[in-house]
Structure formats: C-alpha cells, structure tokens
Structure 1
Amino acid sequence: MNFYHILKSAHSGWRYLVLILLVLAIITAIAGWLGKKPYTEGNRKLNVFTLIFVHTQILFGLVLYFVSPLVEAGIRYWKMEHIGMMIFAAILVTVGNARSKRGDDPSVKHRTIALYFGLALIVIVASIIQMTMVDPSRSFFGVS
C-alpha cells in the first residue's frame, strides 16, 4: 500500500469523526441556545476539537489534491467543486468558532456555533452526496 492509498483511507475515515463532532457541537449549541444554558468550558472544548478535526481533514484533502491521480486526470469535481466546498465549510467552522468567542452572552455564543457549524455540516453533506453521484463506486457510508 502506497502513501496515496493510506492518505485516501485516512481522509475517507476521518470524515466520520468530523461529522460526529459537528453533529454533537450543533446539538449542544442548539440545546444551549434554546435552553438558555451557560456557555461552559466543555462547550468551548467541543467546538475547538471540532475545529481541529475539520482542519486536519482539510490538510489530508489538500495533500491528496496534489498527489491524486484523479486531479491529474482532470476530473472537474475533484479539481474544483469538492475542494472548494470543503474549504468553504472549513471557513464557516473557523469563523463560527472565532465569532462565538467575541460575545459575552451565552445565548449568542450558542446561536453562532449552531448557525455556522450547521451551515458547514450542510455544505459537507452536500459535497459527500455529490461525490457519490459523480463516482457511483463510492458510497456515503462506505470508506472509499
């Protein structure tokens, strides 16, 4: 097994950790926002870990972008759409995490995380679904 296949497997598997952390952060943020709960150190840590995992996934993806034969083959989805959507999702997570730190009101912090992380999750899921349509040999839940 060469470096490309190891990295591709890591990138495919890491997405589950990213999706789980995003869903947990969004659920926690919505519960905190609607339940008028305080913004705790646990909330902050969950959001930072989500940010770190998203950025790690982007790093895996960027390395794959430069070593992948799919990009060299000129498949438009991999060259433009997938990477663009994923970078946009990472920007949403980064901005959401940064903006949540600014406010003093816990409700605003929770709402900011719910909004930005939620939008990032929608972009990521849409990109994964689009990937399964571009390459039918891949599945949403299967490690490819």
Structure 2
Amino acid sequence: MYTGLQHLHSGIAYLALATLVLVIIYALIGSLSGRVFTEKDRKIAMIAFIFAHVQLLVGLILYFVSPLGFSLLTAGGAMSDSAARLTALEHPLINIIAIALISVGYIRSKKMLVSRSKFRSIYMMYAIGLVLILSRIPWATWLY
C-alpha cells in the first residue's frame, strides 16, 4: 500500500505541476490581452485547483502511512538532519501553505467582478503556490 501511494503521489505531482504552469500562463495571457473572464476560464483554473488538492490529500495520507513522515518527528532527531527535516516538516508544511494560497486565488477570483482582477488573482496566487511547491520538492528522492 505504501509503495502504491508513493507512486500515486509522484504521478499526480506531474499532473498538478503541469496544470499549474498552464493555468498560470493562460491567466496571464487573459489578463494582458484584456479578455473577458468566462465560465470556461473558471473551469480551467478549477482543473489545477482540483489536481493540487488531490495531490495534497494523497500526500497527507502518505505522510501518516509512511515510515518517513510523521514517525520521524515523534522519533526525534529529525531537526538535525536536513533530509529528514525536509521530509517530516518542511515539505508537508510549505505545501499545505501553497495549496492554501492556490485556494485563496481561486476563491477570490470567483468573488471579483472585474475580469482583469479575476485573471490576476489566479495567476499571482497560483504562481506563488507553484514557487513554494517547487522549493520543497525532495528532488533527490523523487520517483521518476
């Protein structure tokens, strides 16, 4: 079960990262071109929103099932080892913050009235979330 969850978490990561990049570019182009924000634009932003949240859900399940997740914090010594600290604390915490920012961007865009503001809310908050996610990916241990 652990290995399957680990592969699922890695596989969804590719989809989540790709959709985030595409939505950021799409929203940036929409904002710069002065296009009207339509229901199609909202649904496109929702795709990255959903992939990011599914990734978070699988990651949280993996965190509590994995011998490298929560158990590292309870065993002690994780803070002195940079790899253990990344796995046990930094990766989950920063990614939760990133998903929260993505959520704020999506929800704010639904409440705004001006199209340019809607696009701006999406591309700015999604981009900040993406940078945070990329900063805490354990590149050395990521499954290819």
Alignment TM class, shorter chain as reference: 0.7 to 0.9
Shift of 1:122: 0.5
Which of 23, 27, 49 matches 1:25? Answer: 23
What residue is the counterpart of 2:75 in the other structure? Answer: none
What is the root-mean-square deviation in Å for CA atoms of aligned residues?
1.2
Shift of 1:28: 0.8
- Give CA-to-partner distance per residue, 1:30-50, whole Å, 9 cap, x none: 001111011122211111111
Q: CA–CA distance in 1 between the matches of 2:134 and 2:85?
A: 19
Q: Does 1:109 align with 2:115?
A: no
What residue is the counterpart of 1:41 in the other structure? Answer: 39
What amino acid is aligned across from residue 106 of structure 1 in structure 2? S
What residue is the counterpart of 1:76 in the other structure? Answer: 85
TM score, norm. by length of structure 2: 0.88
What residue is the counterpart of 1:125 in the other structure? Answer: 134
What amino acid is aligned across from residue 98 of structure 2 in structure 1? A
1:86-101 aligned within 5 A = 86-101=95-110
Q: CA–CA distance in 2 between the matches of 1:29 and 1:14?
A: 22
Shift of 1:78: 1.5
- Give CA-to-partner distance per residue, 1:88-120, whole Å, 9 cap, x none: 110011000000011111000001101100101
User: What count of residue pairs does the alignment treat as equivalent?
Assistant: 133
Which of 45, 58, 61 matches 1:60? Answer: 58
What residue is the counterpart of 1:13 in the other structure? Answer: 11
Moved over 2 A (4+): 71-75
Query: Taking every aligned residue pair, what percent have the same amino acid on both sides?
Result: 38
